Structure 1
Amino acid sequence: MTRLDEMRHHGRMRWLGDEQGWIARPQEVVEALAGDGFQEYKREEARSRRDREPHGGMWQGINTTTGAVASAIWVKSEGGREPIVFIDIDGEPLRGA
């Protein structure tokens, strides 16, 4: 079981079918991917001002053993919910049921 699977199993990552993304904490997703062997290659955050929380961001990592690339892109959702995170592994979107 991967760390992302563990997050799903414990309800810390929930699929949103209409948005085709996940409700999750971006840092927790990044930590799960890193724990599964993906080393950070690039990380960016979008802010309206330096003193504000980010409105979104992206993270890319590479697994140097397998050559696989993982990407996570997140955007702040409306209504105070956690951000929506879009996850791809080797160009394939990670989808829920």
Structure 2
Amino acid sequence: MRSLEDEKLAACCNGFLATIKSLWKDHYSDSKHRIDNYELIDIVVPKQINNKDCGFHMIMHAQYWDGRSVSHFNENDMSNIRKILTYKWLKYEENDAA
């Protein structure tokens, strides 16, 4: 629902990034991969329009992320996505308590 234009979110993200860079230096100082110049960017993804779908957005992005591009779904799809995922979870074969 927010972007890096939100000061509190930007401060939180910058704190995470600084911590990751510090830990990288501490634990991977011998690595040939440098992350000192990494910076935060806003990735254009579908944004939720309510306060209840954040978990479903996160699941969709995590499930379909290929390391380079993000999933593209329409906010109007969220009702069906909630139904499909809930059905899959309820019908999952290892959920049988018998």
**More helix as a share of residues:** 2
Could you tell me the TM-score, scaled by structure 1's length? Answer: 0.21
Could you tell me the TM-score, scaled by structure 2's length? Answer: 0.21
Larger Rg: 2
**More strand as a share of residues:** 1
Name which structure has the greater RCO, CA cutoff 8 Å, separation 6+: 1
